[in-house]
Chain A
Amino acid sequence: MILAAQTNEGLAQLSNELVYASMAVYTLAFLAHIAEWVLGSRSKVGRTAAALTGTKTEAAPATVTVRVKQAGGGTAVIEKPKVVTRSAAGTRDVPDGPGAAGGTVKGDLYGRIAVSLTVLAFALEAAGVIARAISVQRAPWGNMYEFSTTFSTVAVGTYLGFLLAKKNVRWIGLPLVTTVLLDLGLATTWLYTESDQLVPALDSYWLWIHVSTAIFCGAVFYLGAVATLLYLFRDSYENKLATGGKPGAFARSVMERLPSAASLDKFSYRVNAAIFPLWTFTIIAGAIWAGDAWGRYWGWDAKEVWSFITWVGYAAYLHARATAGWKGRKAAYIALIAFGCFLFNYYGVNIFVSSKHSYAGV
């Protein structure tokens, strides 16, 4: 029976220490990122202005490497055709910025250090989450403390996954590490709950399915929201340049190093769109679980309502992108509102609203 699975105090203690250790390392990673941004600013980057105001060149040719396997083994050297790409109508042809390091060697060094530290902190935090899970012999998301630690672990893990897949995402590093520190700070002080068993209502295999996908969706939506926010900044910057405005030195230094508005927009769309089906699944899985636990699969409980609002918000975002006059900035605002609803659903509903989901203490 469940009671036999006593919580393992030693492991729970170890888990706490690992989480604290990861916070220390995240702090170092944060400092390294700052160093990267500061040192990177020495270089002069002004490609955006050039692209916007200079003579309009036909789009930059993007050579795509294609390797062709020959029947006899080995790859043949063939003269590859160059594929010329053109941005879609209505977007500017602006090259991506060089990243936080700004193309400087020193900045890049600190950037690499920051990423390595993030990897280490991630490993520590993940170990902490796993130790907690073993100590209670269940999924490590039975209360808000566990939800928060798992959430930031997954967010960082997703980011590192993007890096591993050679995506151009290092610009997320600083905002991500900053918010992870905030999240962990909140978790270890306000939300801390001793490791323990679950109340019967949570004791179901649906906990594994529903909550794990919810956490993963949240982490990915978060990355999407960061990209959306940066898109808005970068887009205003480009607009300003395009209309002959003169942005301040600081804005210039930061914005020049980000990817172009078009790239950021594309990134946030792809991230949000890719995770939307999983979010749909999360809600449906939750409904099935509610059907088993409470006798109705949909009862307009506060948590259900806000999941639904979040879902409709993202659906509106996807629609906006397909609606003339709503693409671009307006769609981006919708995406941010939708993410705000997700956050409210997590913190707001658990803390301020009485809901069937307010379980396990805060």
Chain B
Amino acid sequence: MSKTETTEQRDGLGDAGEQLSTAPREETDGVLGGPTLGVVGWIRWFWRQLTSMRVALILLFLLSLGAVPGSLIPQTSADEFKVADFKKAHETLAPLYEKLQLFDVYSSVWFSAIYILLFVSLIGCIVPRTWQFVGQLRGLPPGAPKRLTRLPAYTTWRTGASPEEVREAALGVLKGRRFRTRAAGDAVAAEKGYLREAGNLLFHIALIVMLVAFAWGQLFKSEGGKLVVEGDGFSNTLTQYDDFKSGSQFAVDELEPFSFTLDSFTGTYETSGPQTGTPRTFEAAVTYTRGGGKDEKAVIRVNEPLKLGDSKVYLIAHGYAPVVTVRDRDGKVVFTGAVPLLPIDNNLTSSGAIKVMDGYRDKNGEKQQLGFKAFFVPTFAGAGKGSMFSQFPALVDPVMALTGYHGSLGVDSGLPQNVYQLDTTKMKQFEVEGGTGVAQRLAPGQTMTLPDGAGSITFEKDIKEWASFQVTQQPGNGLALAGAIAAIAGLTGSLFIQRRRVWVRAVRGEDGTTVVEMAGLGRSESTKLPEELADLAVALTATAPPAPEPAEAEASEGVEK
């Protein structure tokens, strides 16, 4: 039904009804058949398919469909540990998922294929549309269709003014309203709203700009993490990072030269109500210098990274670093320092390891290494309360439980070691007198004495906090933002501006008066068109006042040429 009416309308409107947009013309036939013309014919056919609206639509569909699994299945890029857990839990599915690259959806071959095809299609679409649009801008509005009555908005009246006068006035009125106009035969043709098409093209081009910016950023970006204890510093060189990732085109000498010291970290938490313990503020006060310049102070907050040239320093996490001192049997200090511990719950119950690598000799004077498993709570529930877990994230009643080991830490084995974990395979546990079983709970200032005169470890009163930072350097952000702004601007123009055509025809009728016909054509959504046409008609009646109607019937039917 719709097809026949469309062709009917097209027949009635001729050239004028088309090209109200630069959308590629649909080829309804041949979609399934394909050409019979050999390789070149096939390539051309394929290209035409790829750049058609229909295929663009299908690719858009595929793109959104393809994005779904990545939101439901753990992704390596977001959380490697979750992926590992998932693989353990689903032994049969995991290999299949792995083959389908479902743990790396957004960098997978098939996802890339979809968006690359879409963007090829987009470019293949934009280029001809731009030429077509330039052609439309250079040309003039198409002449009036034969039968104006067929257009979506139509009006007519008779007037005493001559056809020439009416056409002259129509040109004036339309030009006054910033229509592009031309006189064509017995009618005036006008068009307005070219910005719609311009906006649409701008939007699609901006999409390409954003994609390029994104790709550029990925290739050249670098991203590293660093844990810093209060009072310690960091300088932006590769060796200082705890972990570091970079894009394939990144070169180490591109790292922005700067360094900073963490002066203090402050966390505040809700102290009452149902959300007790929920964080309220996190602030890291730092002193930084750039390229050997002056010292400057700054505060880094969760939403407020420190911007240093192309790099940004983000506050990512925080925790406690109790200060401990380890002494040997003679009371000589063999280790002292703040030991960062990793939080294991929201109330900052933390665990970690204290490792004394060298300098310690046991009671026989032999070299040995010491290790302690540390379990720390900033707010202790109280002795006998049954829970060693923290009750509140701030330092209200800090307690640390220590378990000591001696032997070899296994750091010389060549295998990379987790600094927060103790490998006790080559170590022996100390028996502790007066401790609860084998571990001992210490309050700040207390000392645990190791048995048989093996020395002691002191939990100092000064408990430090640490903050971890992520330093990212990513070019192309400015370009991506420019693309985004252009996209919104283009989209706004494309969706809010209506492109429409108006024709005014004036011919001498049989009774000697002039028959004025006006018609407007817009896109089907434009509801304002009839009003605009009426406005124009009223403006025109200043020169062409309606003459008394001779016969009702004739007027409403319009005049056919």
A interface residue numbers (CB < 8 A to B)? 1-3, 7, 58, 61-62, 64, 66, 68, 78-91, 194, 196-201, 203-204, 206, 266, 269-270, 273-274, 276-277, 280-281, 284, 287-289, 291-302, 305-306, 308-309, 312-313, 315-316, 318-320, 322-328, 341, 349, 353-355, 361
B1 to chain A, nearest CB (A): 7
| Contacting pair A319 B282 (CB below 8 A) | no
Which of B160-168, B355-363, B368-376, B485-493 is near enough to bind chain A?
A: B485-493
| Contacting pair B153 A296 (CB below 8 A) | no
The residue that A298 contacts in the complex, of B153, B214, B470, with Cβ under 8 A, is: B214
B101 to chain A, nearest CB (A): 14
B53 to chain A, nearest CB (A): 4
A333 to chain B, nearest CB (A): 11
The residue that B546 contacts in the complex, of A79, A204, A292, A326, with Cβ under 8 A, is: A79
| Contacting pair A68 B152 (CB below 8 A) | no
| Contacting pair A300 B496 (CB below 8 A) | no
**Chain A residue with Cβ nearest B69:** A305
Q: Which 4 A-B pairs have the closest CB atoms?
A: A90-B2, A88-B524, A204-B303, A64-B534
Query: Digit string of B141-155 for contact with A (CB within 8 Å is 1, else 0)?
Result: 000000001111111
Complex Cα distance A40/B154, Å?
Answer: 35
Q: Which of B1-40 contact A (CB under 8 A)?
A: 1-3, 5-6, 8-9, 21, 23, 26, 28
**Chain A residue with Cβ nearest B151:** A86
Q: In this assembly, does B249 line the interface, its C-beta being within 8 Å of a C-beta of chain A? A: no
Residue numbers in B under 8 Å from A313 (CB-CB):
64
| Contacting pair B302 A293 (CB below 8 A) | yes
| Contacting pair A294 B488 (CB below 8 A) | no
Residue numbers in B under 8 Å from A326 (CB-CB):
54, 57
| Contacting pair A89 B538 (CB below 8 A) | no
Q: Interface residues of B toward A: which range? A: 35 or more
| Contacting pair A83 B495 (CB below 8 A) | no
| Contacting pair B268 A89 (CB below 8 A) | no
Q: Which of B407-453 contact A (CB under 8 A)?
A: none
Query: Digit string of B516-547 for contact with A (CB within 8 Å is 1, else 0)?
Result: 00100000110100110111011001000110
Residue numbers in A under 8 Å from B278 (CB-CB):
196-197, 199
| Contacting pair A295 B154 (CB below 8 A) | no
Residue numbers in A under 8 Å from B534 (CB-CB):
64, 66, 80-81, 83
| Contacting pair A316 B64 (CB below 8 A) | yes
**Chain A residue with Cβ nearest B150:** A86
A316-B71 in contact given A89-B6, A199-B279, A322-B21 (Cβ < 8 Å)? no
A83-B537 in contact given A88-B524, A194-B273, A277-B492 (Cβ < 8 Å)? yes
> Which of B6, B474, B534 is the most central at the interface, judged by chain A CB atoms within 10 Å of its CB?
B534
The residue that B63 contacts in the complex, of A206, A295, A312, A354, with Cβ under 8 A, is: A312
**Chain B residue with Cβ nearest A61:** B556
**Chain A residue with Cβ nearest B65:** A309
Residue numbers in B under 8 Å from A315 (CB-CB):
60
| Contacting pair B53 A319 (CB below 8 A) | yes
Residue numbers in A under 8 Å from B96 (CB-CB):
none
| Contacting pair B71 A306 (CB below 8 A) | yes
| Contacting pair A266 B527 (CB below 8 A) | yes
**Chain B residue with Cβ nearest A322:** B23
| Contacting pair A300 B53 (CB below 8 A) | no
Residue numbers in A under 8 Å from B268 (CB-CB):
1-3
Q: Which of B53-83 contact A (CB under 8 A)?
A: 53-54, 56-57, 60-61, 63-64, 67-68, 70-72, 75, 77-78, 82
A183 to chain B, nearest CB (A): 23
Complex Cα distance A192/B467, Å?
Answer: 33
Complex Cα distance A266/B2, Å?
Answer: 17
Residue numbers in A under 8 Å from B72 (CB-CB):
302, 353
Complex Cα distance A291/B23, Å?
Answer: 36
A362 to chain B, nearest CB (A): 13
**Chain B residue with Cβ nearest A274:** B495
The residue that A353 contacts in the complex, of B9, B71, B275, B484, with Cβ under 8 A, is: B71
Q: In this assembly, does B385 line the interface, its C-beta being within 8 Å of a C-beta of chain A? A: no
Q: In this assembly, does B305 line the interface, its C-beta being within 8 Å of a C-beta of chain A? A: yes
**Chain B residue with Cβ nearest A320:** B57
| Contacting pair A88 B152 (CB below 8 A) | yes
| Contacting pair B282 A64 (CB below 8 A) | no
A209 to chain B, nearest CB (A): 13
Residue numbers in B under 8 Å from A298 (CB-CB):
214
| Contacting pair B302 A200 (CB below 8 A) | yes
Residue numbers in A under 8 Å from B301 (CB-CB):
200
**Chain A residue with Cβ nearest B25:** A324
Residue numbers in B under 8 Å from A277 (CB-CB):
488, 491-492, 495
Q: In this assembly, does B274 line the interface, its C-beta being within 8 Å of a C-beta of chain A? A: yes
| Contacting pair B303 A292 (CB below 8 A) | yes
6 A-B pairs in the complex with CB atoms less than 8 angstroms apart: A64-B533, A81-B541, A200-B280, A266-B524, A322-B21, A323-B26
Starting from the known contacts A64-B531, A88-B524, A200-B303, 16 additional A-B residue pairs (CB-CB under 8 Å) come to A1-B268, A66-B534, A66-B535, A79-B546, A80-B534, A82-B155, A90-B5, A196-B270, A203-B281, A274-B495, A292-B304, A292-B305, A302-B72, A306-B71, A308-B64, A355-B71
Q: Which of B457-496 contact A (CB under 8 A)?
A: 470, 472, 474, 477, 480-481, 484, 487-488, 491-492, 495-496
A276-B495 in contact given A81-B155, A201-B303, A316-B64 (Cβ < 8 Å)? yes
Residue numbers in A under 8 Å from B491 (CB-CB):
276-277, 280
Q: In this assembly, does B223 line the interface, its C-beta being within 8 Å of a C-beta of chain A? A: yes
B338 to chain A, nearest CB (A): 24
| Contacting pair B54 A323 (CB below 8 A) | yes
Complex Cα distance A355/B75, Å?
Answer: 11
Residue numbers in A under 8 Å from B556 (CB-CB):
58, 61, 84
Residue numbers in A under 8 Å from B405 (CB-CB):
none
Complex Cα distance A81/B8, Å?
Answer: 27
Residue numbers in A under 8 Å from B279 (CB-CB):
199-200
B553 to chain A, nearest CB (A): 12
Q: In this assembly, does B182 line the interface, its C-beta being within 8 Å of a C-beta of chain A? A: no
| Contacting pair A301 B78 (CB below 8 A) | yes
The residue that A200 contacts in the complex, of B152, B154, B282, B480, with Cβ under 8 A, is: B282
Q: Which of B256-282 contact A (CB under 8 A)?
A: 268, 270, 273-275, 278-282
Complex Cα distance A196/B545, Å?
Answer: 69
| Contacting pair B537 A300 (CB below 8 A) | no
Q: In this assembly, does B244 line the interface, its C-beta being within 8 Å of a C-beta of chain A? A: no
Residue numbers in B under 8 Å from A306 (CB-CB):
71
Q: In this assembly, does B106 line the interface, its C-beta being within 8 Å of a C-beta of chain A? A: yes
Residue numbers in A under 8 Å from B68 (CB-CB):
305, 309
